[in-house]
Each structure stands twice: as C-alpha cells, then as structure tokens.
Structure 1
Amino acid sequence: MDFVEKNYGKLPTQQIADFLGRGIPAVRAMALKLGIGRTGAKAWSPAEIAIVKKYYSYGAGIVMVQTLLPHRDKESIRKQAAKAGVTDARDWHPDAIKFLKEHYGHMNVEDIATTLNKTVSAVRNRATVLKLGKVRLRKWTREENAILTSEYANSDNLNEIHALLPHRSRRAIATQATKLGLKRAEAWTSEELSILQQYYPALGRKVVAMLPGRTIGAIHHQAVKLGLRRYAKDS
C-alpha cells in the first residue's frame, strides 16, 4: 500500500503491478481506496495526442510513447493511437511500405488506404514518417488522354481501362473521363452478343448495320474480347 501511495501516477500502472506481483485492476482499486486513484480517465490533451501521432509509428511504437507519457498505460495509448488513425511500424508489412512508396503522390490517398486495408490517417502518417512529402497528383499526359478517349467509350468494364492505365486509380480514371466529357458504353446485351458472334465472322465491321447504337470501334473491341475473327474471303 505504501508503494502504491508513493508511486501511483508517477510510474506506469503496469510497472507498479509487476513490482508488486498484482494485476493492474488490483493496483487501480487500491489507488482508489487510498484516495489517489481516478474514477475516470483524464481526457487526452492536444500535446499528448501529438506525441502519440509523432512517436507511435516510428518503430519504437508504444514503448517510446509510454516513456514520454508515463501516466498513460499501454491499453489507453493503443486506443488513442487507433482514434488518431496511427499504426505501429510493426503493423506495416514490407510489401505495404513498398506499395506506399511507389504510389503515394500518384494515387488518391483514399485508394491507397483501401488497397492496403488501412485508414486514410494511417496512410498519411506513414507517408510523413517515410518523408514522402505531400500528395501531388501527376498531370495527365497527352498519351494517357488519348488512351482514355479511344477506349473509354468502347468498354463497359472500368477494369479493362485501368489495365491500360495502371498508374491511375479507377476513381481518377472516372474523374478524368468526366472532365473530358466521355461516356462509357452500356453493357452488351445477350441479343447483341448473339448477333456479333453469328455475323461478325462473315461481315466483319459491316455488322454495325445490325447493331444500332454501337460504333465500329466498339464492335471491333468486343469482337477481340470474344476471340472473333472475320473469315477470309473466297478468292
């Protein structure tokens, strides 16, 4: 009891519990009994939260934070780190770090977070730790706009376009298409596909007359997808 009275609030509760061979709940209960405990956790100050954000994700993680905030136990630090969107460096797989380094600044932070199954705050904090700088989305090049313009209207599958522009997120592609006034093709109906499969080998692109609303480019694109080829004409 004397040790608790002298050290509670000065040493981490876990350290007191370990020294006395008691559990943390028992130590807290005794502190309350002695009138030195707290009935409720003290609200986190902006300075404390800043320490969590700065040091929790540096690798030393919770050990470093608890050294700087000895009056906070590990569990409360973990909870505050989660609220702040901060994750310990040990929670980041090397592949995730590599992906972040390659794509931060080229992809939207939201897309990176979704890909890595992280929060947006966690991604931004990790980028800060790695000194990746601010997100500066790369301007669309003429070549990229040309690919988007030629393919967007012919495909009803955004994944196909994304495969041609792998450094652009699906959201970025859709946004750029809107800026360019492009509209994606409607999905092919079973009737249209049947006509294409039946007549394309014989008519080639002339089948456009049988598919109102479809451009020659869209027809060719769909034929390639289906593995269709026009039969050679008889000599």
Structure 2
Amino acid sequence: MTRTHCDLDADIVELAAFVPEAEARETTPLAEIAFRADAWLPGETQQLKAAFVQDHGLDEIAGLLGRSRTAVATRIHDLGLRRNSRRNWCDWEDEELACCYSNEPTATLAARLARGVSAIYARAKLLGLSEPAAQPYSAWEDVQIRAGYTRGVPVAQISGLIGRPLSGVISRASMLGLRHACQPDDWSDTETARALALAATGARYMAIAQMLVEEGFPERNSRSLGQHLRKLGYGRGWGRAWIAEEDDLLRHAYTTGASLTPLRKRLGRSSHSIRWRAEALKLRGTHVRRDGFRQGPVWTAQEEARLRADYGKIPTREIAETLGRGLRAVLYRANHLGLVHGFMRPFGSDEDRAIRNAWLHGVSMVDVAQALGRDPAVIGKHAARLGHRFNDPARPSRGPRTRRASRTPVTLESLLALDPPDLPIAA
C-alpha cells in the first residue's frame, strides 16, 4: 500500500497534547486539604478555554474571570494551550519575549505567551532579538516529532510547527529512533539525511543523485529522488497560510530595506511565496532600496537628472566616468528610466533631407554627424541605405578644405537650407 504524507491545516499549532510525566504516573489518593479561595474551579477553567478559543487577550480573560493577568497566563501555561492568534502584540508580551527569548526554549516561551512557535520566531526577528543558542529539545517538542513521523506529516511542516531547522528535526528523530511513515523501506536514514542536506544547497535533483552515487549510496533517478524528498516535506515552501506576525515581518523588511534571503530561511518560505505575499500586501515598489541589492551606491535624483540630460548626446563612457560608475551600471539605469539612446533613434524626414543635401554639397560625414547628434558610423550606414555613400568617388566635391576653426558650424537648419543649390554652407 502506498503511503501518502499528511499536510497540516493552517490553524494547527500542536500535533499531540503533551502530558507531563508527573501527571502520567499513577498517583495515590491524596489526603483532604483545606479549600483555597484562589483555586481554579472547573467552571472557571471552561470559561478560560472558551475565551481562549475565541482569541481573547489575556487582559480580557482576566477581566472576565476577575483574576490577574499573571494568574491567567500561568493557568494557560499549565493547561498547555497554544493558538495561532490574530491579536496584536501588546507591550507586556514584547517585554517578556525580549527578556526570555535567548534564555529558554522557544516552545516553552510560546506556551507561556499562548502563541504559536512560528509566531514567536517571526516576532523576535521583527524586534531585532538575537538568535538564542540551540536549546535542548523539550519533551513537548519530542512529542510533536513522534506524532508527526507516525502520521506521515512532512518534516518541513514539523520543523515549522516546533520552530526548529529541518536538519535539526531529522537529527533529533534519528536520535529518538524514529522512521518517517513516508520513507521507503529501501532508503536508509543516513541516505535520507544526506539527500535533504544536498537539496538544501539548491542543487538540482540529477546532480544530487550523482553526488549520492559518488558517495557510495544506491543509484537513484531524479524523479524518485524528488518524490521521496517531497514526501518528507522538502520543498520551496509548503503552502501554509500566512500569519499576522509573518506579514508584519515582511512589511518591516520592505520598510527598512533588509535582505529577504534571511527572511526566507526564517519563515521557511520560497522566493515565489515571498513575492506573492508582498504583492498581496501591496508592498511592490515600496522597498527603500530602489536598486535592489546590486553593488554600488544608490542613484540620486541629481545623477538621474544628469543622465537624462546627457544620455544619447555624449558617449556613454564619458557619462560613466563623470558619474563615477561602470558603463554597464549606466546602461542598466538608463534602460530602467526608459531612456532611448540618441544614436539609435529612428531617422526623420528632415534628417534624411539633411543627409542628401550634405552628400550633394560635399559636406563631410563628421560634420553631418555633429549636426544631427549621431555617431559618424551611424550616419554612414544610413546614408548608404538612402543611396548616398559619402566615400563614393562619384560624389560631388566640396572644394578645398579649410581649417575647422575658420568654418561656420554645420547645423541641421543649415543643411536643410541647402535645398537651393546656390546657398553656401561654410565660409
């Protein structure tokens, strides 16, 4: 029978309930003790759970039950409740996160704040908190890994659920002696871990299969390799719904101009998923770094104005030297601004008349190029198409050359005025 993986719904934040070992053991009857006035009654617990499911804040639940926020938070932690909350983060939660993020496992902190682990990671990144050192796996995390491997949940979804890297989950499962339900019998744990590690480098499946063979593993084709990795949860994002904390983190990246590459690794999202969500949030074009992450300084308004004024009128290399930029950078920026090089613009009827008159009256091709603001080679090629070759021996002669300094500058108007054959062009 073919096993298929089990995708998780977006609202799932826990695969299996964790029962502390102390509660799981059989206990002897306790002696009767005096009733405490602050004890939690069954009715209060049910009210708390109902308000929690309705996504009420801790302050709201505390006001409803007539208890302090600390008491409500402690009771939620003791009950092990977790949720993908849609509530905004309050100052108290941010302070608690900043204080404890690097000192205790994220899963424990998520339980105390009644948030999902992925929400904790996204919020911590938004607040600029440093990555904590790898904390030991908690009993709750081990329970989720066991349940996920047994149910055939993709490993990538398990890692996103508990907030651990993909490779870390695989290593922990191997230490626990677990075998994924979707793993074929002919794949060893070592081969699976190695294939996932190579896939994380971005190598193609055919290249991964070849590298595995070179390392002594069985020969696989790219199709079976890809199917196996996808069953285990490898992919460029696994289609889960975006939560509010992830949206806030994406907005923050676009506002501050931060690189999106660490964001993809943090959220476990593909570049396509990041772009799709940015478009959905209407973040396209709002990135503070207009040039993206190309090397070199950002173009200023003055530089763009200079480029608009000179592009196509003087050689592009001179523009690049003046602006202190590379030739390719200038060409890219001109294309981005929609500028058309003057040497490449189509010839108009007046320019065609000017070229014909210049050919008939013996005006040099260099003077025509200067008058029309084009390259002499472009003028020569276009004149040849019109049947007027400037290097043709049969071309009418202009007479003896004079020094350029003593000649009248040639302009488009002076060339057009040569239609009457008796009008001289130069002194």
Q: Same fold (TM over 0.5)?
A: no
Q: Normalising TM by the smaller chain, what interval?
A: 0.3 to 0.5
Give the structure with the larger helix fraction. 1
TM-score normalized by the length of structure 1:
0.37
TM-score by length of 2: 0.24
